[in-house]
Amino acid sequence: MLCALIMAGGKGTRFWPLSTEEKPKQFLKLLSEDTMIQMTVKRLEKLIPIERIFIVTAKQYVNLVEEQLPNLPKKNIIVEPVGKNTAPCIALSAFIIDKYYKNSTIAVLPSDHLISNDDKFINTLNIGYEFVKKENDAIITLGIRPDRPEIGYGYIKYTEKICEIDKLEIRSVSQFVEKPNSEKAEEYLKDGHYLWNGGMFIWKTRTILNLTNKYLNSTYNVLNEIATTSEEKFNKVLEEKYHQVDDISVDYGIMENANNIYVIPSEFGWDDIGTWYALERYKEKDENNNIFMGNVKNINSCNNIVVGCNKPIIITGINDIFVVESDDMIFIGKKESIDNIKEIREKHKEN
């Protein structure tokens, strides 16, 4: 039985000031009339019923999840008391999902990525599921075929072809690679054996729990104690014990150590929409190469990104700028400064 686990605890700092700690990127309408998390759930419902879709998030975002996903059963919202990176929250979720759906398989997916071809994505996910069902302890990851030398993503290096299902290859993974510099990214693109790591995995609940026990034993023991607590005391014990788990990503803690990892080289229009620049790849531009969201009027201005919230915004005779109106501020800068937005945000917080 296939379940989905959507990771929705990130703070989306690279989309500041629209994305804030109170309402981060996954809860915003950046690409359509639906928020990013609503888009993710709607896509998954083509394969997995809402009863088997789980969201793991932080305490402060539970109300947003409930508000934006009113059909999601409340028991399917898994709350991480404190952020401890991806390995502990995935293992905690695996324990909980295994209670409801014994010996199930989980597709672990981000909540805030763009996928433009839903049908291809669902087909790829289903093929990965069928492979994991048949192969004991196998892990499938969905790697994205790169079309540019991207330095903002990690990479997956693959080797020999294991099989082909419905024209999709399944290949062995030899290495997970951290974000490269420009020179390395060019090498990876030319090599042809590297894929972008989109953070999407398929595995059996018992597989990920066994690997957590093997490679992050202290974390497993803490989570096992939490998971075996009675329902009445569960939240109290979770609050008391969860801070004891390792603060480590699933890539570092498990994937770099595990065997039997396979990748499906995928092409379904993926992007992690990690920065404001990413909007330029997908949002419709006007005849002057501007991207406008909200009530924006333009007079002789080119190559701008302007995001309005409440008030009308008028730009005239300016080029290559970035304007974002949020509930409590208006941020204006040169587009070339977008890559430094996290640093700008930190300086703003200091003031």
What pLDDT sits at residue 29? 87
Q: Is 294 exposed, middle or buried (0-12, 13-18, 19+ CB in 10 A)?
A: middle
Closest CA to 305 of 290, 316, 294: 290
What pLDDT sits at residue 351? 58
pLDDT, tens digit, 9 for 90 and up, residues 28-66: 888 888 999 999 999 999 999 999 999 999 999 999 999
Among 7-21, 45-59, 293-307, which stretch is predicted with the lowest mean pLDDT? 7-21
Q: Are residues 106 and 236 in the same domain?
A: yes
Q: Are residues 10 and 50 in the same domain?
A: yes
Q: Are residues 64 and 210 in the same domain?
A: yes
> Does residue 342 register a pLDDT over 90?
no
Question: Pick from 248, 274, 300: which residue ends a domain?
Answer: 274
Q: Are residues 240 and 338 in the same domain?
A: no
What pLDDT sits at residue 347? 67
Q: Are 319 and 302 contacting, i.e. CB atoms less than 8 angstroms apart?
A: yes
pLDDT, tens digit, 9 for 90 and up, residues 254-276: 998 998 999 999 999 998 877 77
Q: Are 179 and 152 contacting, i.e. CB atoms less than 8 angstroms apart?
A: yes
Q: Are residues 192 and 336 in the same domain?
A: no
269 token code pair: 């229009």
What pLDDT sits at residue 4? 98
Q: Are residues 89 and 176 in the same domain?
A: yes
The answer for residues whose C-beta is within 8 angstroms of residue 201's C-beta and 6 or more apart is: 107, 108, 139, 140, 141, 142, 250
Cα 165 to Cα 2, 132, 169: the distances in Å are 18, 13, 7
> Does residue 73 register a pLDDT over 80?
yes
| Number of domains composing the chain | 2
Among 161-170, 240-249, 339-348, which stretch is predicted with the lowest mean pLDDT? 339-348
What pLDDT sits at residue 350? 59
Question: Pick from 255, 274, 293: which residue ends a domain?
Answer: 274
DSSP label at 48? S
Among 92-101, 145-154, 223-232, 276-285, which stretch is predicted with the lowest mean pLDDT? 276-285
DSSP 266-330: E-S-EE---SGGGHHHHS---TTS-EEESSEEEES-BS-EEE-SSS-EEEES-BSEEEEE-SS-E
Q: Are residues 188 and 270 in the same domain?
A: yes
Question: Pick from 274, 298, 324: which residue ends a domain?
Answer: 274
What pLDDT sits at residue 284? 84
DSSP 99-130: HHSTT-EEEEEESS-EES-HHHHHHHHHHHHH
CA distance 184 to 309: 39
Domain of residue 288 covers 277-350
CATH code, 166: 3.90.550.10
Q: What is the mean pLDDT of the chain?
A: 91
What pLDDT sits at residue 320? 93
